[in-house]
Chains A and B, each alone.
Chain A
Amino acid sequence: MKKVLFVIYQSPVGTIWPNEGFRTAFGMYAADIEPDVLLIDQGAIVVGTETEPAKLGLLPIKVCQKYIKKYETKVWVEKESLEKFNVRVLDQEYNAEIISRADVKAMLAEYDRVVFM
Chain B
Amino acid sequence: MLILIKYGTENPAENWKLEMAATDDVIVLIQNGVFWAVTAEGKKALAGKKVYALKADLEARGYAVQDCPVEAIDYSGLIELLEQNEKTMS
Contacts and interface: CB of A to CB of B under 8 A. Distances in A.
A9 B87 contact: no
Given A104-B20, A108-B20, A41 B13 contact: yes
Contacts of B62: none
Interface stretch (A63-71, A88-96, A109-117): A109-117
Chain B, interface size category, equals 10 to 19
Contacts of B86: 112
A7 interface: yes
B89 interface: yes
A23 interface: no
A114 B88 contact: yes
30 contacts: A9-B12, A9-B13, A9-B16, A40-B12, A40-B13, A40-B16, A41-B16, A104-B20, A105-B19, A105-B20, A105-B22, A108-B20, A108-B89, A109-B1, A109-B87, A112-B86, A112-B87, A113-B88, A113-B89, A113-B90, A114-B87, A114-B88, A114-B89, A114-B90, A115-B89, A115-B90, A116-B13, A116-B17, A116-B89, A116-B90
Given A7-B16, A109-B22, 13 more contacts: A7-B13, A9-B16, A40-B12, A40-B16, A42-B12, A104-B20, A108-B89, A111-B87, A112-B88, A113-B87, A113-B88, A113-B90, A114-B89
Interface of A: 7, 9, 40-42, 101, 104-105, 108-109, 111-116
Interface of B: 1, 12-13, 16-17, 19-20, 22, 86-90
